[in-house]
Amino acid sequence: MAVLVVFLLFLLAEPAISQLNDLDNNSNSFLRWFCGRTPPIHPSNFIKNRNSTLAELRRQLLTDGVFYATAQDLSAGDTVYAAAQCRNYLSTDECVACFDAGVSVLFRCVAGDSAYVVVDNCFIRYEDYADFYNNPNVVQDGVGTPFSPCGNTSASQPVTTFEDVVEGILTEIRDATPKASNNYVALTREITSSNETVYAIGQCVGSNKTACETCMNSAYSYLTNCLPTTDGRFFDMACFARYSNTAFFNGSQITDVTNILKGNSTKTIVAGTIAGVALLFFILGIWLLYRRRKKAKETEQANFKGAVNYNYKDLLLATNHFGEENILGKGGFGEVFKATLDDNSIVAVKKLQAEHVRVKEEFENEVKLISHVHHRNLLRLLGWSSEGSELLLVLEYMPNGSLDRFLWGSKRGTLDWNQRYEIIFGIARGLAHLHNEFHVKIIHRDIKSSNILLTDDFKPKIADFGLARFLPEDETHVVTNYAGTLGYTAPEYALRGLLSDKVDTYSFGVVILEIISGRRSTEVKSGLSSAAYLLEQAWQSYEKNIHMKFIDETLNLNQHEQEHVMKIIEIALLCTQTPPSKRPTMSEMVLMLQEGQSLGTRQLTRPTFVQNHDRRVNIVFSKNSSASNHVYKNKMELEADDREKSTCNG
């Protein structure tokens, strides 16, 4: 049975978390609620205390200008501590209306001693302890945060302008919210070229500045991942943030952040002069940019129509009847052709080998689904054609081709460390987006350097996502239904067919090592035993502290860069740990890279990998890892184990 690529988010693993998807009602859309499962001592007494606590919160919110309230009731030992928060753009009536709507949801939680509800306009939480007042991040059990639903329409005008504006406004929100006296910032920005306005807010819960800062940093990173969709929301226990190109608050209620961001006023005069000069350059810059983008506009606009069902004959013409001279490459799915459409725009056309696609309808559904996925680090699907015998995908054309060319192919040695790092970071962001899409979760399953395409300015775009299901089945694979390329594939997936987003984390780690070393994951270093695949080389150089031996010799690194590369090697090794629970999620990875975090207390062990030629498993479990074996055992996997034993000999 093919493992499905796509899991509906609605079938979330944790039954206690629920999501209401009525984002259409802009006023009081529920984003998520959570009911704890630990029972209170005396449920009826707890419910009584909860009622009085919530009533007290409501009383406080009825006062003009009060947007945050806390209340508690400790009678008879069933302590209830609660907090409620309204967005500051609301009137008192609107605030209380949102509170009431939230409470009606909380009343559904009858069994546990903790709960929260997130509404666009407000947030309510109660617990049986008070610690969360000072540190909102204190939680009792997994509460499914952070989360970040993105809209599903893409910005229509030159998307880079929209992205720049949103990134700018979110940067200010991120920096100003923790410094604002009430931990709330609302901003708007005009996009003159399209007459559009972007609205954004940030708001922290309580007054813990550290928690606020951390939370706003992740808000920034998640929300910029929503681009280029026209709206995004972010929630974590310590804050809420949102941007949209439709007004969700009155544009006159914005926060003046100039003083918050500039600090003291003596600098203002100097800053004023500098700002004047800067403005001149800025205008000049905009003009140049405008000229440059005007040219790009045509192709760009083609990118935002949504997926189009192309006429087969048109594509036949555009590719010169799939002429040899138009072949861009050959992938796991078939050949890719360069095509010039009627309007002179250039696209790539991927021909799927028909015998591998079982049902045409299934194909179209999949295509429609992935055409909704928009992110600057994911290759856009422009359309498809399933007339005739062939199934064709029409994709963005990337003149620079794939990353492997730049690592060991014809362009070897042309990327400096900075560019390589940006590529690593971009891939991480693209994957995080794929895993955290609002409606569906997509696991790529075949991340490798040849699936990473590069834009003109060497930014990465991940190709072939959502298609793993259509990969040809190769009988030589240990598990017939597994997609992926040996050398990049996580062992639990290659051998046991266990699929999770951590499978992509693993392959991402291998790609990092390729980017750093300029060598293929499957390349055996000559003169060494079969153990010396790339991952093994990385591990050995890490263990012996001889990183420089591992790094691509075409890179000229200064001291500072060397240290950075070493840190990234450690991160790559972290990605390739087994069991999968030791690997970070891609969202965690984005934060780690962004904040330059080190491993902290995490201990690295020798990575586990599947060797390419004989497909033996190199599983070197450390002393304490026998326990981790148990994690996997169930009936299906025991069967897989048997298969594994038989392949180990061959």
Ligand X SMILES: *[C@@H]1O[C@H](CO)[C@@H](O)[C@H](O)[C@H]1NC(C)=O
> Which residues does the annotation mark as catalytic?
446
Work out the burial of residue 359: count CB atoms within 10 Å of its CB; fewer than 13 is exposed, 13-18 middle, 19 or more buried: exposed
Contact status: 152 vs ligand X (CB under 6 A)? yes
Contact status: 64 vs ligand X (CB under 6 A)? no
Give the angle 193-196-199 at the CA atoms, nearest 5°.
Answer: 135
Q: 78 or 175, CB closer to ligand X? A: 78
Stretch that binds ligand X, among 203-211, 292-300, 559-567, 614-622 (CB under 6 A): 203-211
Stretch that binds ligand X, among 130-138, 164-172, 261-269, 405-413 (CB under 6 A): 130-138
Q: Shortest approach of ligand X to residue 115 CB, angstroms?
A: 14
Contacts with 525 (C-beta within 8 Å, 6 or more apart), sequence order: 532, 537
Secondary structure of residue 23 in the 3-state scheme: coil
Q: Shortest approach of ligand X to residue 360 CB, angstroms?
A: 20
Q: Shortest approach of ligand X to residue 106 CB, angstroms?
A: 10
Residue with tokens 């204190």: 138
Of 346, 360, 356, the residue nearest 388 (C-alpha): 360
- Cα separation, 211 vs 165, in Å, equals 26
Question: Can you name the residues that pair with 577 across neighbouring β-strands?
Answer: none
Give phi and psi for 378, each to the nearest 5: -125, 135
Secondary structure of residue 453 in the 3-state scheme: strand
Secondary structure of residue 530 in the 3-state scheme: coil
Stretch that binds ligand X, among 4-12, 24-32, 306-314, 473-481 (CB under 6 A): 24-32
- Identify the H or E element spanning 55: helix 43-61
Written as one letter, the residue type at 389 is: S
Q: Shortest approach of ligand X to residue 129 CB, angstroms?
A: 13
CB atoms within 10 A of CB 18: 17
Contact status: 192 vs ligand X (CB under 6 A)? no
Contact status: 207 vs ligand X (CB under 6 A)? no
Contact (Cβ atoms closer than 8 angstroms) between residue 331 and residue 322: no
Q: Shortest approach of ligand X to residue 168 CB, angstroms?
A: 21
Contact status: 301 vs ligand X (CB under 6 A)? no
Pick from 17, 62, 66, 97 the residue near ligand X by CB under 6 A: 97
Pick from 9, 23, 271, 617 the residue near ligand X by CB under 6 A: 23
Contacts with 577 (C-beta within 8 Å, 6 or more apart), sequence order: 583, 604, 605, 607, 608
Q: 191 or 454, CB closer to ligand X? A: 191
Contact status: 47 vs ligand X (CB under 6 A)? yes
Q: Shortest approach of ligand X to residue 625 CB, angstroms?
A: 31
Written as one letter, the residue type at 602 is: R
Cα–Cα distances in Å, from 273 out to 269, 309, 466? 7, 54, 52
Alpha-carbon torsion (33, 39, 41, 44), positive or negative: positive
Stretch that binds ligand X, among 139-147, 208-216, 263-271, 289-297 (CB under 6 A): 208-216
Q: 20 or 316, CB closer to ligand X? A: 20
Contacts with 225 (C-beta within 8 Å, 6 or more apart), sequence order: 148, 150, 375, 429, 432, 433, 436, 590
Pick from 14, 27, 91, 262 the residue near ligand X by CB under 6 A: 27
Q: Shortest approach of ligand X to residue 252 CB, angstroms?
A: 4
- Cα separation, 233 vs 31, in Å, equals 9
Contact status: 197 vs ligand X (CB under 6 A)? no
Q: 134 or 259, CB closer to ligand X? A: 134
97: left (phi over 0), alpha (psi -120 to 50) or beta: alpha
Written as one letter, the residue type at 23 is: L
- Cα separation, 601 vs 408, in Å, equals 35
Q: 211 or 394, CB closer to ligand X? A: 211
Q: Shortest approach of ligand X to residue 365 CB, angstroms?
A: 11
CB atoms within 10 A of CB 338: 19
Show the tokens assigned to 291.
């000229």
Contact status: 577 vs ligand X (CB under 6 A)? no
Q: How many residues does the chain have?
A: 650
Q: 527 or 600, CB closer to ligand X? A: 600
Cα–Cα distances in Å, from 550 out to 425, 448, 541, 556, 579? 20, 19, 7, 13, 25
Which residues, numbered 417-456, are part of the site for ligand X (CB under 6 A)? Answer: 439
Contact status: 16 vs ligand X (CB under 6 A)? no
Q: Shortest approach of ligand X to residue 200 CB, angstroms?
A: 17
Stretch that binds ligand X, among 132-140, 494-502, 547-555, 626-634 (CB under 6 A): 132-140
Q: Shortest approach of ligand X to residue 164 CB, angstroms?
A: 18
Show the tokens assigned to 359.
């049902």
Contact status: 101 vs ligand X (CB under 6 A)? yes
Show the tokens assigned to 339.
């095509």
Residue with tokens 């704890």: 36
Contact status: 556 vs ligand X (CB under 6 A)? no
Contact status: 210 vs ligand X (CB under 6 A)? yes
Q: 51 or 597, CB closer to ligand X? A: 51
Question: Can you name the residues that pair with 147 across neighbouring β-strands?
Answer: 235
Show the tokens assigned to 592.
């780690």
Stretch that binds ligand X, among 23-31, 410-418, 519-527, 534-542 (CB under 6 A): 23-31
Q: Shortest approach of ligand X to residue 110 CB, angstroms?
A: 10
Contact status: 208 vs ligand X (CB under 6 A)? yes
Work out the burial of residue 364: count CB atoms within 10 Å of its CB; fewer than 13 is exposed, 13-18 middle, 19 or more buried: middle
Q: 195 or 526, CB closer to ligand X? A: 195
Stretch that binds ligand X, among 111-119, 205-213, 381-389, 561-569 (CB under 6 A): 205-213
Which residues, numbered 315-374, are part of the site for ligand X (CB under 6 A)? Answer: 372
Which residues, numbered 371-410, are part of the site for ligand X (CB under 6 A)? Answer: 372
Pick from 12, 17, 48, 308 the residue near ligand X by CB under 6 A: 48
Q: 88 or 485, CB closer to ligand X? A: 88
Show the tokens assigned to 277.
């000069």
Pick from 250, 258, 581, 603 the residue near ligand X by CB under 6 A: 250
Contact status: 252 vs ligand X (CB under 6 A)? yes
Give phi and psi for 553, each to the nearest 5: -70, -15
Stretch that binds ligand X, among 129-137, 293-301, 542-550, 575-583 (CB under 6 A): 129-137
Q: Which residues bind ligand X (CB under 6 A)?
A: 22-23, 25, 27-28, 47-48, 51, 97, 101, 134-135, 137, 152, 195, 208, 210-211, 250, 252, 372, 439
